[in-house]
């Protein structure tokens, strides 16, 4: 009886790994314009009768397209005949643009300069909030406060009273060397001149000394493994910027501007300066774009509108977003509680997370696009 039943039952459709991979090779990464199989993003395919599971390894935990990619995978594999149960795990591994900095910072995958043409546009505030936003996605993030004349990162991260301690690091060759331990706050590690000078003391340094500080902040700090190291630069593209881009290959630069900067084209000049140094522009961020009155909800464009987007279009660089002028952001900066920590559900925090996601996207694109130059 049993034998007869087995013979007459409809043949069970065996799902194969080849079928799963064929389905996933139809799913594109919208940023990298290739399919997930070609990009080697599919890991650990497991099939047990109709149950299929696999991992999708994204190039950043901050990927804004995570939900779309997962839905596309679900649709593609879910429509294979015989698939009754589907488990997709979204993971990430930030790929380095290339081996960075040799012995200076061998375990830092991306160094990103945060720059502006003129002062006071909110570079440090934006850099701090983006760093916290990236860290909250699970990425390992550091900030180097390269504004040696006016260091503000310790205040923005609420660690003004802390100091950088001495530590020791074992190198791959077994040698143990002294290093400076960065200070950690809100999931972000940082170094700053602010930890080394007395409050209120002016810093009077010239070019060669500045380049020494930049090199020390890179090579003599125990950064450990980092996915993203954001460098908060002083305004303009002076000695510090030059020293940085000479010391290590930067993944790219982000230009922060306010809407009215476009008229004076200072932001554009700083952007061009990076391009001359062969540093890719990851995008423009417009800060202080608009103000939403908390009592009426009405939006005001205090400094004009759309300048950042226009500049990005004109210069053919990505536009990463508009950040509103917002009282808790200023207050959070003064009190060392970034708005992502003090008001994580606010519009401002959401905007910072979106901009951080777009920045991470551009970093991934740069990392994938990079091809080593032919040896001459
Ligand atoms: N989106 C924002 N909403 C409200 N206040 C902001 C915003 N961005 C920056 N600020 C405030 O503007 C002031 C200048 O910001 P910040 O110090 O970040 O600028 P900066 O470009 O780093 O300046 P500098 O060129 O001096 O380094 C600070 O008081 C900061 O709190
Ligand atoms: Mg600053």
What's the pLDDT at 2?
41
Residue 372: is its pLDDT beyond 50? Answer: no
Q: Which of 338, 314, 290, 368 is nearest to 130 (CA)?
A: 338
Task: Residue count of the chain, please give it.
Answer: 376
**Domain harbouring 342, CATH code:** 3.40.50.300
What's the pLDDT at 11?
52
Atom of ligand 1 nearest to the CA of 323: 1
Those residues whose C-beta lies under 8 Å from the C-beta of residue 287, and which sit 6 or more positions away, are 121, 122, 125, 126, 256, 257, 258, 323
> Are 80 and 200 in the same domain?
no
Report yes or no on 272 lying in a domain: yes
Of the listed ranges 89-93, 144-148, 235-239, 289-293, the least confidently predicted one is: 235-239
> Are 32 and 128 in the same domain?
no
User: 284 pLDDT band (50/70/90 cuts)?
Assistant: very high
Question: What does pTM read for this prediction?
Answer: 0.91
> Are 17 and 55 in the same domain?
yes
User: 123 pLDDT band (50/70/90 cuts)?
Assistant: very high
Report yes or no on 365 lying in a domain: yes
Residue 101: is its pLDDT beyond 60? Answer: no
Report yes or no on 207 lying in a domain: yes
Ligand 1 lined by 124 (C-beta under 6 Å)? yes
User: 376 pLDDT band (50/70/90 cuts)?
Assistant: very low
Question: Distances in Å between the alpha carbon of 144 and those of 36, 68, 168, 189?
Answer: 34, 33, 20, 8
Residue 203: is its pLDDT beyond 90? Answer: no
> Are 156 and 70 in the same domain?
no
Report yes or no on 375 lying in a domain: no
Residue 3: is its pLDDT beyond 90? Answer: no
**Domain harbouring 13, CATH code:** 3.30.300.130
> Are 192 and 59 in the same domain?
no
Q: How far apart are CA 127 and CA 153, in angstroms?
A: 9
Q: Whose CA is nearest to atom 3 of ligand 1?
A: 325
Q: Which ligand number lies closest to the CA of residue 125?
A: 1
- The residue among 3 and 71 whose pLDDT is bigger is 71
Ligand 1 lined by 147 (C-beta under 6 Å)? yes
- Backbone phi, then psi, for 179, in 5-degree steps? -145, 165
> Are 33 and 147 in the same domain?
no
> Are 220 and 307 in the same domain?
yes
> Are 125 and 59 in the same domain?
no
Ligand 1 lined by 152 (C-beta under 6 Å)? yes
Give the residue, out of 114, 122, 334, with the most ligand 1 atoms within 8 A of its beta carbon, to mutate for a pocket test: 122
What's the pLDDT at 311?
86
Q: Whose CA is nearest to atom 8 of ligand 1?
A: 122
Atom of ligand 1 nearest to the CA of 327: 4
Q: What percent of the chain has pLDDT over 90?
A: 63
Report yes or no on 98 lying in a domain: no
> Are 187 and 307 in the same domain?
yes
User: 7 pLDDT band (50/70/90 cuts)?
Assistant: very low
Q: Residue 310's domain spans which residues?
A: 111-369
Q: What is the mean pLDDT of the chain?
A: 88
Boundary (domain end) residue, out of 60, 92, 124: 92
What's the pLDDT at 239?
84
Q: How far apart are CA 258 and CA 236, in angstroms?
A: 14
What's the pLDDT at 374?
39
Report yes or no on 50 lying in a domain: yes
Number of domains in the chain: 2
Atom of ligand 1 nearest to the CA of 324: 1
Atom of ligand 1 nearest to the CA of 116: 21
> Are 240 and 181 in the same domain?
yes
Distance 333 CA to ligand 1 centre (A): 8
Boundary (domain end) residue, out of 44, 63, 92: 92
Give residues whose Cβ lies within 5 Å of ion ligand 2. 123-124, 147, 152
> Are 55 and 134 in the same domain?
no
SS (H, E, C) the chain: CHHHHHHHCCCCCCCCHHHHHHHHCCCEECCCCEECCCCCCEEEEEEECCEEEEEEEECCCCCCCHHHHHHHHHHHHHCCCCCCEEEEEEEECCCCCCCCCCCCCCCECCEEEEECCCCCCCHHHHHHHHHHHHHHCCCCEEEEECCCCCCCHHHHCCCCCCCCEEEEEECCCCCEEEEEECEEECCEEEEEHHHCCCCCCCCCCCHHHHHHHHHHHHHCECCCCECEEEEECCCCCCHHHHHHHHHCCCCEEEEEECCCHHHHCHHHHHHHHHHHCCCCEEEEEEEEEEEECCCCCCEECCCCCCHHHHHHHHHCCCEEEEEEECHHHHHHHHHCCCHHHHCCCCHHHHHHHHHHHHHHHHHHHHHHHCCCCCCC
Give the residue, out of 158, 330, 343, with the most ligand 1 atoms within 8 A of its beta carbon, to mutate for a pocket test: 330
> Are 173 and 201 in the same domain?
yes
Residue 8: is its pLDDT beyond 50? Answer: no
Residue 373: is its pLDDT beyond 50? Answer: no
Report yes or no on 116 lying in a domain: yes
What's the pLDDT at 202?
65
Starting at the edge strand that comes first in sequence, how are the strands of the sheet with 42-48 ordered? 42-48, 51-58, 85-92
The pLDDT tens digits of the residues spanning 18-66 come to 999 999 999 999 988 999 999 999 999 999 989 999 999 999 999 999 9
Ligand 1 lined by 322 (C-beta under 6 Å)? no
Report yes or no on 97 lying in a domain: no
């Amino acid at each position: 009886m049993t034998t007869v039943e087995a013979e007459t039952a409809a043949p069970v459709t065996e799902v194969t790994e080849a079928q799963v991979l064929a389905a996933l090779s139809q799913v594109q990464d919208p940023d990298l314009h290739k399919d997930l199989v070609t990009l080697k993003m599919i890991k650990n395919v497991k099939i047990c009768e109709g149950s299929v599971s696999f991992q999708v390894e994204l190039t950043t935990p901050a990927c804004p397209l995570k939900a779309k990619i997962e839905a596309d995978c679900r649709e593609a594999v879910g429509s294979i005949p015989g698939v009754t149960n589907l488990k997709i795990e979204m993971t990430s591994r930030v790929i380095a643009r290339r081996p960075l900095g040799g012995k200076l910072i061998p375990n830092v995958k991306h160094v990103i300069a945060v720059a502006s043409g003129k002062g006071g546009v909110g570079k440090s505030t934006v850099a701090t909030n983006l760093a916290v936003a990236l860290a909250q996605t699970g990425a390992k993030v550091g900030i180097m406060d390269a504004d040696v004349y006016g260091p503000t990162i310790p205040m923005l991260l609420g660690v003004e009273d802390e100091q950088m301690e001495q530590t020791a690091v074992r190198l791959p060759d077994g040698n143990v060397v002294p290093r400076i331990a960065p200070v950690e706050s809100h999931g972000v590690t940082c170094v700053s001149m602010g930890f080394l000078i007395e409050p209120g003391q002016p810093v009077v340094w010239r070019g060669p000394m500045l380049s020494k500080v930049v090199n020390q902040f890179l090579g003599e700090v125990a950064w450990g493994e980092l996915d993203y190291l954001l460098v908060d630069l002083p305004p303009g593209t002076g000695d510090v910027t030059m020293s940085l881009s000479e010391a290590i290959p930067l993944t790219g630069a982000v230009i922060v501007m306010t809407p009215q900067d476009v008229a004076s084209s200072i932001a554009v000049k700083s952007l061009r300066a990076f391009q001359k140094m062969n540093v890719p522009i990851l995008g423009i961020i417009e800060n202080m774009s608009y103000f939403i009155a908390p009592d009426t909800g009405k939006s005001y464009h205090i400094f004009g509108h759309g300048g950042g987007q226009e500049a990005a279009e004109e210069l053919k660089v990505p536009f990463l977003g508009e950040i509103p002028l917002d009282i808790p952001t200023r207050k959070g900066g003064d009190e060392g509680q970034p708005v992502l920590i003090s008001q994580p559900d606010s519009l401002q925090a959401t905007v910072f997370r979106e901009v951080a996601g777009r920045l991470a996207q551009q970093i991934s694109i740069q990392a994938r696009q990079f091809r080593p130059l032919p040896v001459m």
